[in-house]
Amino acid sequence: MNIIGGRKPVFEALTAGTPIERIYILRGTRGEPVDEIRQMARQKNILCTEADKHLIEKLSRNANSQGIVAIAGTKEYTDVDEILSIAAAKSEKAFILLFDEIEDPHNLGALIRTAVCLGVHGGIIPKHNAAPVNETVAKTSAGASAHFPVAKVTNIAATIDELKTKGVWIVGTDAAAQKSFADIDYSMPVALVIGNEGKGIRRLVREKCDFLVNVPMAGTFDSLNASVAGALAMYEVFRKRRGI
């Protein structure tokens, strides 16, 4: 089962139209956020059931569910053209994330949360060797994953070639790169590549990037967490496009 736990993630899933089969609420739980969830569930004809603490903990795998869990359908993935069309509909230059084998769902969720906050139009993940958009991602993203279009592709390198034919420039984050992430002009359509937590961007993907950038650091530690480095790079795109 795909479980969404927590008041905000469940509320965001309902708002985004995520397919939900049933919602369980801890017996006796009250308050405005809970009432809003109940009301939205009624409007959408989703069964809302009161449950005891044992069932809530079992469904949420003992995570902090705040007394609410929803059984959701599988994440509905989109395709690359749909993500590009979202940017076109807003009359904006495409801003896409390419997740190159991000394996930790907590990192994926954190990246998606930042992406939604900074106006990224969508993300692309590989079908294999990568975290899916599951309940952990939904929880870590505080429900933002329900609003974030994600395409799942067989081959990231081939997808980069496809994006290039459509005028998208590819910027890879790499701790060993000589150029700073602040040195790039992000006014063009851009896809930002975030690499694996341990191995970074794969060789073939790295070779296909138009630019490789690093995040300058003052300390002796060699690299940042993938979600932190990705957040800094995303904010730089956001900042430069708005002249901040």
Domain limits for position 9: 2-72
Whole-model pTM: value is 0.76
pLDDT tens-digit map of 24-83: 999 998 889 999 999 999 998 888 999 999 999 888 886 788 999 998 876 778 999 999
**Between 212 and 244, the higher pLDDT residue:** 212
Q: Are residues 137 and 66 in the same domain?
A: no
Q: Are residues 97 and 159 in the same domain?
A: yes
Domain count, the chain: 2
pLDDT tens-digit map of 215-242: 887 765 556 788 998 999 999 999 999 9
Q: Are residues 59 and 95 in the same domain?
A: no
For 99, residues 6+ apart whose C-beta sits below 8 A from its C-beta are 108, 111, 123, 124, 125, 126, 130, 194
The mean pLDDT of 141-151, rounded to a whole number, is: 89
The pLDDT assigned to 2 comes to 79
Give backbone dihedrals phi and psi of 144, rounded to 5 degrees, phi first: -65, -25
Which CATH number do you get for residue 54? 3.30.1330.30
Which CATH number do you get for residue 146? 3.40.1280.10
* Token reading at 119: 């106006």
Q: Are residues 88 and 19 in the same domain?
A: no
Q: Are residues 117 and 227 in the same domain?
A: yes
Q: Are residues 96 and 199 in the same domain?
A: yes
- The residue count of the chain comes to 244
Q: Are residues 126 and 220 in the same domain?
A: yes
The pLDDT assigned to 51 comes to 93
